[in-house]
Amino acid sequence: MNTIFVVSGGDAPGINALLANYAQIATLHGDTVCGANGGFPGLLHEQIQPLPFTMLSPWMGRGGSILPSSRDPVLSQAEAGELIRRILHDQHIDNMVLFGGNGTLRYIPPLLRAWEIPYIGIPTTIDNDVPGSERTLGFDSACNFAYQAIDGALATGHALNGRLFMVETLGGTCGNLALAVAQGAGAHAVIVPEFEYDENWLARRLKTAVERDGYGLLVICEGARGARTLADTLPALTGIRMRDTRLGHTQRGGTPSHSDRVLAAQMARLAHHHLKSNQSGILVVRNGELTLTAALSDTPVMPNRELYLQINGLNDEHTGN
């Protein structure tokens, strides 16, 4: 059995760990592994390279992806399916392991099924926004990366009292990452795109935190209202200096955590098992266990509202929703 890896969309810590684990398992079973350089555009241009375990093993503990990705919508081309089928046949490739987030895993698996290409989809995004999966590969690592930045900033907060700190996480329009980081870091407030808030309330809450704890910590998702303006608004409303930290894409490239490495190893084992058994689908985490599903859930991913209210010290009538 010869498997090709294709990374589509954003990278995330844990991809390299899964690649290496799968290659090791494949080698033990007499199978081979290759990868498309540059996602599906790379595959369509036959930019394919062998990926032996000896090549991948040094990358197991590194963030990002050794395989370049792409977001180019090349599969919308009328001849894409026929061309991919021909390339896979000519290259003696039997199936595919597809890495991607919500967009990739919602749009591409139906195409692969229609083209009769066996595949396993791997939810890979630090945003943790894949419907029907409690967890995605890279999410835990991104949380841990944020804690290092927050702990560093708050070293000043504890040494020199009387400051506000705002930390912006990635996450796009999904607040799951910011909410999880806020909970783990003991933030005084969290702002996410899904829930509205009042700036005067936020200013009062953070000012009270400074008076009580010596500092105020706000975690905000990049896609939330105020992500680009609160660094100016809050000091004006509170009269307190603010330090603004934006994690940006460095949050994607952090070292994979123990939890993500274990998840990567489990996903690699199951992906190989299902492909060997001629089964296709997407690996998702449900009730804490990995399971194979034919399609993603239609239920939109929403942050835990109760946790949001708890961190912000709010109840329903004060949220503006």
Q: Which residues are catalytic?
A: 127
What is the residue whose two structure tokens read 């239609």? Answer: 298
Provide the 8-state DSSP code for 224: S
Pairwise CA distance, residues 78 & 58, whole Å: 39
In whole angstroms, what separates CA 225 from the centre of its chain?
A: 21
Provide the 8-state DSSP code for 2: E
Residue 183's Cβ-count burial label (10 Å; 0-12, 13-18, 19+) is middle
Pairwise CA distance, residues 301 & 110, whole Å: 20
Pairwise CA distance, residues 224 & 177, whole Å: 12
Take residue 105 and report the two structure tokens written for it: 């895993």
In whole angstroms, what separates CA 184 from the centre of its chain?
A: 17
For 82-99, letters b (16+ CB in 10 Å) and e give eebeebbeeeebbbbbbb
Q: Is 273 helix (H, G, I), strand (E, B) or coil?
A: helix
Q: Is 21 helix (H, G, I), strand (E, B) or coil?
A: helix
